Amino acid sequence: MAGYPASVRIREVGPRDGFQNEPEVIATADKVRLIEMLVASGLKRIEVTSFVRPDVIPQLADGAAVLAALERPEDVAFSVLIPNERGLDNALRERERFDEISVFLSASETHNRKNVNRSIAESLDGLERVITTAIAEGLRCEGVIATSFGCPYEGEVSPERVLGIAERLAAAGCAEIGFGDTTGMANPLQVDGFFTGMRSQLGAEGPAGPELTAHFHNTRGQGLANAVAALGQGIDSFESSFGELGGCPVPAGSTGNIASEDLVSMLHEMGIETGIDLEALLAASRAVQDVLGRPLGAHLLSAGPVDWEPGGVGG
C-alpha cells in the first residue's frame, strides 16, 4: 500500500513485559509451552524473559530455566531484558541461548527514579557499560526509552530530551532504539510528528542509523491508531504483546501493550506482510488466557479475524 511499508517486523514481548505484571506466578512449563506456540506462529523476534532481581519481579525468577528449556530455531531471535551490569553478568551464563538484549530507561526523571531508582544520567552511565560488554559478547542491543510520548508524573516530555537519550544509546552501540508510550498517553498526530523528527535526526534512513521501533500501549484505546501514524512515517518495526498482556508497574492503571493479534490482523487487512500465521497466534493467546483463567483485552479474542468469505458474519 502506497505510503506504508510493504512488510513489518514484530517483536513479541508478552513473555516478559506481559508476564511480569501478572500477580500469580506462571509455571515455568506453561511459559515454555506458550513461547513455543508463539514461535510456531511465525514470530521471528521474541523477548522471552528478564534478568532482574527475583525479589523485585518474582514472576521472572525462572528466566534461566525458561531459556534452558527452549529450543531456539536458527531463524528466530530470542531477546532478554537487562536492567544493569549485574543482570548482564547473570544473563551471560546462558549466553548461547539468546541473541539480543534490551536495555531500558525513561525519558522522564520522575518515572525513571520511581521505576529503577536512578536519575537518567546514572542510568545512561550504567547502560553504556552494559552495552559495551554485550557487544563484545556478540549480542545485538536494543535501547528502549520509556515515557517517550509523555509522563504521568511530569506531563509532556520534549522530543529533544528523547532524542538526546537516543543519540547516547546509538553512540554506545545500540543497533535499535525503541520508543515506548509506557502509559498510553500518545495520540496519532503527536506520533506522526515525533517519528518525522526522529527518522531524520537519528539517520534512520541511512545505512549507519539505528533501527527505530515503536512500542505502544492501549491504556486509552489509541494504540492501533498510533501504530498507523508510525507506519505513515515509515516505521516498520513494532513491539506488542499477545492477548494485550502487560502494563507498567508505575503508576497504577497503566494497562497492556497493543495486542499482537490485533496488530497483525490490522496489518494484514492493510496488505502489509508480517510473516505471521494469525490463527496460530490467536491459539497462543487463547492458551495464555486459559492459563491465567480470565478474559484478556485483545479484540480478536472476542471477535475473531475478519471473515470476507460469503456467508461470514456481517456487521
Q: Residues 131-146: pLDDT tens digits?
A: 999 999 999 999 999 9
Residue 50 near residue 18 (C-beta atoms within 8 A): no
pLDDT score of 312: 57
Q: Does residue 207 register a pLDDT over 70?
A: no
Separation in Å, CA 219 to CA 3, 110, 183, 186, 288? 27, 20, 6, 10, 20
Percent of the chain clearing pLDDT 90 (strictly above): 88
- What are the structural domains, with CATH classification, of the chain? 9-303 (3.20.20.70)
Residue 204's pLDDT band (cuts 50, 70, 90): low
Report the pLDDT averaged over residues 32-37. Answer: 98
What are the catalytic residues?
A: 248
Q: Peptide bond before 15: cis, by omega within 30 degrees of 0?
A: no
pLDDT score of 209: 85
Least confident range from 54-58, 109-113, 138-142, 262-266: namely: 54-58
Report the pLDDT averaged over residues 32-40. Answer: 98
Residue 253's pLDDT band (cuts 50, 70, 90): low
Residue 156's pLDDT band (cuts 50, 70, 90): very high
In residues, how long is the chain? 315
pLDDT score of 256: 82
Q: Does residue 26 register a pLDDT over 50?
A: yes
Cα–Cα distance between 214 and 221 in angstroms, integer? 16
Residue 2's pLDDT band (cuts 50, 70, 90): low
pLDDT score of 315: 44
Residue 209 near residue 243 (C-beta atoms within 8 A): no
Percent of the chain clearing pLDDT 70 (strictly above): 94
Task: Count other C-beta atoms under 10 Å from residue 67's C-beta.
Answer: 23
pLDDT in tens, 81-111: 999 999 999 999 999 999 999 999 999 999 9
Cα–Cα distance between 113 and 90 in angstroms, integer? 23
Report the pLDDT averaged over residues 67-80. Answer: 96
Least confident range from 70-84, 215-229, 245-259: namely: 245-259
Buried b (16+ CB within 10 A) or exposed e, 41-56: bbbbbbbbbbbbeeee
Task: Count other C-beta atoms under 10 Å from residue 6's C-beta.
Answer: 9
Separation in Å, CA 134 to CA 101, 116, 314? 8, 20, 52
Q: Does residue 310 register a pLDDT over 90?
A: no
Q: Who has greater pLDDT, 225 or 202?
A: 225
Cα–Cα distance between 95 and 115 in angstroms, integer? 27
What is the amino acid identity at position 238?
F
